[in-house]
Homo-oligomer: A and B are copies of this chain.
Amino acid sequence: MAWEENIHKVVPYVPGEQPVGTNIIKLNTNENPYPPAPGVADALRGIADEYDLMRRYPDPDARDLTKALADYYGIEDEQVFVGVGSDDVLAMSFLTFFDSDKPLLFPDITYSFYEVWAKLFRIPNKRIPLRDDFTIDPDAYLIPNGGIVIANPNAPTSLALDLDSIEKIVSGNPDSVVIIDEAYIDFGGESALPLIDRYDNLLVVQTFSKSRSMAGARIGMAFGSAKLISYLKDVKFSINSYTMSRDAIRIGTAAASLADENYFKEVTDRILKTREEAAGRLTEMGFDVAHSATNFLFVTHPDMKASDIYSALKEKNIYVRYFNLPRIDDHLRITIGTPEEMEELYKALQEVMK
């Protein structure tokens, strides 16, 4: 078609499979195996009771939610930004903060979406190789650049970078905005959040999708200096005045409240316990298991191809994530499920690896 000459063609990110049906064990998209905090159910009932309010636009600033998050983390409301999942927050952040002729830097092995956003927004970029042990070398980020994005803990490697190294990258790049994507921070690692008061070029991104069991609600957030956040808000308000629905604001506010804190900690502890158990069991089975600071394990086995294990598990209705990508095509990313789901996984693996 003639009009195809004048449009923007892209190759999109492909999310993990979302199989439907019963008897499926889904360990492929790092969802939480436990339900959200009980406050979320109450909030949803509250929305149902007042469903007539749905005719009104939501608060464009989602103030209830930003305030609940600011209170929870002990920072100012002006240091908080919220969006439709951390992908939305990150996409808007790329559009806002990476606008230079110098390259955006990110690890060669990391969240695949970084490259997709860079391409979409035509941001020049350069991938910095991880070390052979898949750790991040902070010194490699002390080169001329137009911005930096690092997932910490990194995905799919599951490895955390220590806070001193993060600070070295942030302090060594005063000319650039540095984004630390902390989607998995509640499962391990040290958050860079305390650094936002000292470094106004630091943006810390988190999400409700993992530790808070609310992937279905689409809530992500960013923390940074008031100045950084205000630039991000300007771009948000240049795309969509009302990104956060009434329901998202209400259930997010409920889940972020201190009242639900104990439940949240209990669920996280349970996942960490299952993770350590799983790391032990998989190691016993001959897997090499990276030292995870996340709710998933990054594993490889010397005797069987990762793609074969992936396919064999899928036939048994167990979904894990396989990336057909350089350096990691011999690895699998396995989400931590309930102890019962993990037992099914061990059983299936024992059959598969025979």
Which A residues lie at the B interface, using CB under 8 A?
Answer: 1-3, 5-15, 18, 26, 29, 31-36, 40-41, 44-45, 47-48, 51-60, 84-85, 87-88, 91, 95-100, 102, 116-117, 119-120, 146-147, 174-177, 200-201, 209, 213-218, 227, 231, 233-248, 251
CB distance from A195 to the nearest CB of B (A): 15
Cα distance A32–B55 in the bound complex, in angstroms: 6
CB distance from A59 to the nearest CB of B (A): 6
Task: Among B2, B12, B33, B57, point to the contact of A237 (Cβ < 8 A).
Answer: B12
User: Would A55 and B41 count as touching, CB distance under 8 A?
Assistant: no
Q: Report B-chain residues with C-beta under 8 Å of the C-beta of A176.
A: 3, 6
CB distance from A89 to the nearest CB of B (A): 9
Q: Report B-chain residues with C-beta under 8 Å of the C-beta of A233.
A: 12
Closest to A246 in B: B216
For the complex of A and B, 6 pairs with smallest distance between CB atoms: A12-B237, A35-B52, A216-B246, A44-B48, A15-B241, A6-B100
Given the interface contacts A8-B99, A84-B84, A87-B242, does A54 sit within 8 Å of B31 by beta carbon? no
Q: Report B-chain residues with C-beta under 8 Å of the C-beta of A239.
A: 87-88, 91, 117, 120
Given the interface contacts A34-B55, A57-B209, does A245 sit within 8 Å of B216 by beta carbon? yes
Q: Report B-chain residues with C-beta under 8 Å of the C-beta of A235.
A: 8, 10, 12, 120
User: Would B54 and A36 count as touching, CB distance under 8 A?
Assistant: yes
CB distance from A53 to the nearest CB of B (A): 6
Q: Report B-chain residues with C-beta under 8 Å of the C-beta of A7.
A: 96-99, 177, 231
Cα distance A33–B147 in the bound complex, in angstroms: 46
Closest to A54 in B: B216
Q: Report B-chain residues with C-beta under 8 Å of the C-beta of A6.
A: 97-100, 102, 146-147, 175-177
Cα distance A26–B244 in the bound complex, in angstroms: 21
Given the interface contacts A44-B47, A48-B44, does A215 sit within 8 Å of B120 by beta carbon? no
Q: Report B-chain residues with C-beta under 8 Å of the C-beta of A146.
A: 6
User: Would A245 and B231 count as touching, CB distance under 8 A?
Assistant: no
User: Would A57 and B120 count as touching, CB distance under 8 A?
Assistant: no
User: Would A48 and B48 count as touching, CB distance under 8 A?
Assistant: yes
Cα distance A98–B8 in the bound complex, in angstroms: 7
User: Would A85 and B240 count as touching, CB distance under 8 A?
Assistant: yes
Q: Report B-chain residues with C-beta under 8 Å of the C-beta of A246.
A: 216-217
Closest to A47 in B: B44
Cα distance A84–B8 in the bound complex, in angstroms: 21
CB distance from A140 to the nearest CB of B (A): 19
User: Would B120 and A55 count as touching, CB distance under 8 A?
Assistant: no
CB distance from A73 to the nearest CB of B (A): 22
Q: A3-B176, A88-B243, A215-B242 are in contact. List 5 more A-B contacts (CB 8 A).
A: A55-B213, A84-B84, A95-B120, A120-B235, A247-B247
Cα distance A245–B241 in the bound complex, in angstroms: 17
User: Would A15 and B234 count as touching, CB distance under 8 A?
Assistant: no
Given the interface contacts A2-B175, A238-B116, does A31 sit within 8 Å of B55 by beta carbon? yes
Q: Report B-chain residues with C-beta under 8 Å of the C-beta of A119.
A: 238
User: Would A241 and B100 count as touching, CB distance under 8 A?
Assistant: no
CB distance from A28 to the nearest CB of B (A): 10
